[in-house]
């Protein structure tokens, strides 16, 4: 099951991570044993995601509408190869929470 986390530290890789952005986290038991998480980051060249230190992210629980919006946004990005504008997913998340 996919869950989501907010980036709280992008100092080691600012080109691939946006501070404050919500990212999908892919399940990876071995990574978890090493205090790492597998993230689908801005690069998107690796469909299996990249490993980052778990301390760089905070896991979050999202309302179902927000999860759907983020998953649909990720799917569109992967199909077209284009990157969404910074903050688009965050705006959708805020709209779904406030409604």
pLDDT recorded at residue 65: 86
- CA angle (35, 69, 20) in 5-degree steps: 45
pLDDT recorded at residue 34: 96
User: What are the pLDDT tens digits along the chain (99 aa)?
Assistant: 468 999 999 999 898 899 999 999 999 999 999 999 999 888 777 888 899 999 999 999 888 888 888 777 654 443 333 444 434 444 454 454 444
Distance, in Å, from the CA atom of 17 to the CA atom of 41, rounded to the nearest integer, reads 6
Contact between 89 and 24 under an 8 Å Cβ cutoff? The reply is: no
User: Mapping DSSP to helix (H, G, I), strand (E, B) and coil, where does residue 24 land?
Assistant: strand
pTM: 0.68
Nearest C-alpha neighbor of 81 from the set 38, 41, 44:
44
Contact between 50 and 43 under an 8 Å Cβ cutoff? The reply is: yes
């Amino acid at each position: 099951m996919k869950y989501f986390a907010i980036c709280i530290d992008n100092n080691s890789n600012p080109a691939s991570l946006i501070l404050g952005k919500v990212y999908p986290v892919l399940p990876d038991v071995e990574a978890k044993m090493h205090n790492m998480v597998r993230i689908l980051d801005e690069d998107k060249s690796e469909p299996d995601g990249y490993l980052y230190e778990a301390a760089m992210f905070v896991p979050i629980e999202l309302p179902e509408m927000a999860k759907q919006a983020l998953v649909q946004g990720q799917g569109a990005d992967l199909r077209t190869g284009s990157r969404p504008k910074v903050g688009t997913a965050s705006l959708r998340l805020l709209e779904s929470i406030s409604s």
